[in-house]
Every structure is written in structure tokens, then in C-alpha cells.
């Protein structure tokens, strides 16, 4: 089979690599950061919330990606608990509710139910609960690397400065560019923008086993981390702020929002001693993600912002279709 190089080992790169390996391609993953490394500021995948939950996108392609990805992780969580994927209830709160926002996926996630008025936090008008999957990236990314290596894929640590150089270095027939924020320089793509996120990790709270989420006003999430005994609190989304240090003022704001949604379940948290700050930059892109063929041997798959995990295996399958298209064409020449 043709050789395919996946440049980037974030969730989009690794999901694409697994889909390609499952299709029989010879896969090499080249990346500056590899699974098991601590998440850097510009490498968001290890510190992502990683809840496989719909985004309310009206785009048909995104909906397809999200459905396929949910089905993938749903099966994984039931088949292999060592993967870092777990089944959990998620409750989402809305300031205003529009039925068409959820019409497409309420049939996908099981146990969909509207909350009663007495189940809502003060000032929140609508809430729904479903069952979904949460992934602990610290467990899952190395798991996926091991799985790929068992299938014959290889991993190379290398910081790329040129797509053409990586193609020559690996001898690949096709290059999949899944470099996230790195695509800004590698592709001269000024549409790529870092989206700053700030969150906190609460240690030693093993009894918390549900996800709370608010994606409209007051963007907030509460996510238990499988295998860690801790809980991830967030969050902040800021475009244009490239500060690398955690803002102490935001810590209090995040905790207040978390306690509002959880009805003071974390009122005892001491921000000075109990939590660890987490700051990172999601790979945003003005105009949406780039998923397309360029020329005869290059596929771009980057700019997924905060929906990398949610779209990962749907996007990976689309990448595989594109690789087949290019390699079939080359074989006919």
C-alpha cells in the first residue's frame, strides 16, 4: 500500500492515522510533540476537555463527523476501558432554548431528557441531559500511539519547517497536514488564530461522575478525569489574548460559574491549594477548519478549534477517503 505521512500528533492527526492504518496504508506520524509529552501552550490535545458531545453546528459535514465520532468512542468505551474513554451523563444548560439547535442529535445520544424547573440552577431557563463519552487525553493519546504501532505505524519526533521537506524525508506518497496552529507558518495561512483557554484541574475529587456544560453565556464546563481522581473546571475562550500565564482573577470567576451550575458542589475548593492552572491555545481558524486536497500529494486537516475530539474520527475517515482518491489517481498515471 502507498505510504502516508501524517504531520502532527494531536487528535486530528492521530485519528487520521488510525483510520489510514485501518484502511491498510503504510503510516508514519511525524511531530514535534508526541503522545505522553506534557501538553504545551501550542499543543492543545493533551489538555483538552475531550467530551464527545455535539456542538449545535448547522453544517451537514460537521454533523456527520460528530455522529461518526460519537459512534466510534461509544464503542471504544464499552470495548476497552483501558483506552481512557468512559460513559458519563452530561447536563447542558441554556439561557435561551431553540428546538432546532438539538433536533439533529437528540436521536444520537441515548437517554435524552429535558430537565424539570426544579432541577435548574437559579437564572437558567432550560437544561437537557443525555449520556455521552468523556476521554482522558493523558491516557488516550499514548493508548492510540501503542495501537497504531501494533498495526505497523511508526512515529518520528521532528519539528517541521517545510511540508516539502517532510515529504522528501519520509518518502511518503501523500502528506496529511494536521499541524494545528503550526499551519499558520507552514502554509502561510493568516486565517489560523490561537484561541486562548484557561481552566483548572481539581485534585482529589474521585466521587464526581457527571459532566456539566454551558456553551452560551458564561461558557463553563465541569469534567471528571478518568483514572486521575480529579475534575477539570473551565473555562475561558479568548481570541487575541496570547498571554501564557494564568490570570488569577479568572480563577475566581471560573469557580463561581462552576458552583452556580453544580449548586455549590465545589464550595469548599481552596483556589490557593487545591487546583492547578491550565493555559493553552486551541487551533482556531477564521472561516472554519481546512479539510481539503492541494495538488497531487497533500491534504490539509487543521483549524478545528475546540471541536477536534468531537469531529476527530469523522474527519479522519474523510482524510482517508481523500488519500484513496489521490493514490488511486496516481496508480492510474
Which tens digit of pLDDT belongs to each residue from 182-226? 999 999 999 999 999 999 999 989 889 999 998 777 789 999 999
**In the CATH hierarchy, which fold is given to the domain comprising 1-50+136-191+286-333?**
Rossmann fold (3.40.50)
What pTM does this model have?
Answer: 0.94
H or E stretch including 296? none
pLDDT for the residue 63: 86
Neighbours of 81 (CB within 10 A): 13
Low-confidence stretches of the chain (pLDDT < 50) are: none
pLDDT for the residue 297: 96
Can you give the length of the chain in residues?
Answer: 333
Query: From CA 142, how far away is CA 34, in angstroms rounded?
Result: 8
pLDDT for the residue 122: 86
Q: Please check if 282 is assigned to a binding site.
A: yes
Query: From CA 255, how far away is CA 247, in angstroms rounded?
Result: 13
Q: Please check if 97 is assigned to a binding site.
A: no
Under a CB-based contact definition with an 8 Å cutoff, are residues 283 and 180 in contact?
yes
- The predicted-structure confidence for 92-113, as pLDDT tens digits, reads as follows 888 776 665 555 566 677 788 8
pLDDT for the residue 86: 95
Tell me the pLDDT of the chain averaged across its residues.
Answer: 91
Q: Please check if 143 is assigned to a binding site.
A: no
pLDDT for the residue 331: 66
Query: From CA 246, how far away is CA 224, in angstroms rounded?
Result: 21
pLDDT for the residue 105: 60
**Please, how many CA atoms are within 13 Å of residue 90, restricted to the half-sphere of its CB?**
25
Q: Please check if 295 is assigned to a binding site.
A: no
Neighbours of 125 (CB within 10 A): 11
pLDDT for the residue 174: 97
pLDDT for the residue 329: 67
Amino acid at each position: 500500500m502507498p505510504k502516508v505521512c501524517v504531520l502532527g500528533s494531536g487528535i486530528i492527526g492521530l485519528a487520521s492515522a488510525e483510520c489510514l492504518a485501518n484502511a491498510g496504508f503504510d503510516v508514519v506520524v511525524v511531530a514535534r510533540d508526541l503522545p505522553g509529552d506534557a501538553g504545551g501552550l501550542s499543543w492543545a490535545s493533551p489538555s483538552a476537555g475531550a467530551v464527545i458531545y455535539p456542538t449545535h453546528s448547522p453544517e451537514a459535514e460537521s454533523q456527520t463527523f460528530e455522529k461518526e465520532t460519537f459512534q466510534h468512542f461509544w464503542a471504544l468505551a464499552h470495548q476497552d476501558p483501558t483506552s481512557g474513554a468512559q460513559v458519563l451523563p452530561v447536563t447542558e444548560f441554556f439561557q435561551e432554548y431553540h428546538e432546532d439547535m438539538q433536533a439533529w442529535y437528540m436521536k444520537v445520544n441515548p437517554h435524552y431528557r429535558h430537565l424539570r424547573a426544579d432541577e435548574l440552577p437559579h437564572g437558567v431557563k432550560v437544561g437537557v441531559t443525555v449520556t455521552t463519552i468523556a476521554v482522558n487525553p493523558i491516557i488516550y493519546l499514548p493508548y492510540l500511539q501503542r495501537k497504531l504501532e501494533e498495526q505497523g505505524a511508526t512515529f518520528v519526533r521532528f519539528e517541521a519547517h517545510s511540508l516539502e521537506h517532510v515529504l522528501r524525508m519520509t518518502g511518503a506518497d501523500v502528506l496529511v497536514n494536521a499541524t494545528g496552529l503550526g499551519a499558520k507558518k507552514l502554509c502561510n495561512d493568516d486565517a489560523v488564530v490561537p484561541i486562548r483557554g484557561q481552566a483548572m484541574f481539581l485534585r482529589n475529587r474521585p466521587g464526581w461522575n457527571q459532566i456539566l456544560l454551558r456553551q452560551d453565556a458564561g461558557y463553563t464546563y465541569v469534567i471528571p478525569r478518568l483514572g486521575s481522581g480529579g475534575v477539570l473546571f473551565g473555562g475561558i475562550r479568548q481570541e487575541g489574548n496570547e498571554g501564557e500565564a494564568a490570570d488569577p482573577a479568572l480563577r475566581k470567576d471560573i469557580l463561581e460559574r462552576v458552583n452556580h451550575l453544580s449548586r455549590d458542589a465545589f464550595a469548599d475548593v481552596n483556589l490557593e491549594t487545591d487546583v492547578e492552572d491550565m493555559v493553552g491555545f486551541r487551533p482556531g481558524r477564521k472561516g472554519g477548519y481546512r479539510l481539503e486536497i492541494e495538488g497531487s500529494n497533500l491534504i490539509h486537516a487543521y483549524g478545528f478549534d475546540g471541536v477536534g475530539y468531537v469531529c476527530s474520527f469523522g474527519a479522519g475517515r474523510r482524510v482517508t477517503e481523500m488519500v484513496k482518491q489521490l493514490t488511486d489517481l496516481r496508480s492510474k498515471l
